[in-house]
Amino acid sequence: MRRIRITVAYDGGPFHGWQIQPALPTIQGLLEEILSGMEGTRVHVAGSGRTDAGVHALEQVAAFTLANPIPLENLRRAVNRLLPPAVRVLSAGEVDSDFHPRFQAKAKTYEYRLFRGEVCSPFEWPYVHHYPFKLDEDCMMQLAHTFQGEHNFSAFAAADDRDAEGKSKVRAVFSSELTRSGERLLYRIRGSGFLKHMVRNITGTLIEAGKGNIADLSALPAKSGPTAPAKGLFLVSVEY
């Protein structure tokens, strides 16, 4: 048996997230259907994490076990032929039999894209949150740095079916930065792991700071701002 790691990019717009759901199109569901057909038996595809419905990925990492001896480059090509154009396998490689993309990940980086121009191109719109209204971007940048460090992010997490397990919601954020690039505001955060809706809730909180609704920019706010739309969020990379 071979343990194979793949890197996958996808446009999350047409999908109901990564995790397989009955009768709904998901990234995991598509990959498992294709690989199971190639293997002749059910193949489980494990991902580095569960991106929400509408969230995109530049480099999601996944892994599965196959008996099929197909060369890796042929495997990548075969899977891409069967996937819709919105999903691409970028690379494939063999790894140790115990490799797990979620449990062994050391860091993940996400980027949230805000478009600040008055008119947003229809070709840009599916991949940004269009917010042309007045914001104090300096305040937003100041608050962004406050999220760096180890904190309890309970206030910035949505309810999750894993909550019953009682696991800690303390996470280490290695970097948290908001920058301006042309008509875009880019919020990039790198950390040990992320809770459900955490990055979107932090982005919504930064917007509240930009609107002047957060007085103390030197500490984590006690509650989250509104959850920013999924379509502006990208999983950029996963580190091992």
Residue 160 bears catalytic tag: no
* C-alpha atoms less than 13 angstroms from C-alpha of 47 in its C-beta half-sphere: 23
Using alpha carbons only, what angle is made at residue 146 by residues 49 and 238, rounded to the nearest 5 degrees?
25
d(CA 39, CA 25): 21
d(CA 107, CA 110): 10
Catalytic residue of the set 52, 98, 136, 216 = 52
Taking CA atoms, 25 is separated from 65, 75, 87, 210, 232, in Å, by 22, 22, 12, 36, 20
**Tokens, residue 122:** 């229809």
Name residue 88's beta-bridge partners: 9
d(CA 147, CA 141): 11
Q: Tell me, rounded to whole angstroms, the distance of Cα 221 from its chain centroid.
A: 23
Assign 104 to helix, strand or coil.
coil
d(CA 98, CA 96): 5
Using alpha carbons only, what angle is made at residue 107 by residues 106 and 113, rounded to the nearest 5 degrees?
165
Identify the H or E element spanning 199: helix 198-210
Question: Catalytic site residues?
Answer: 52
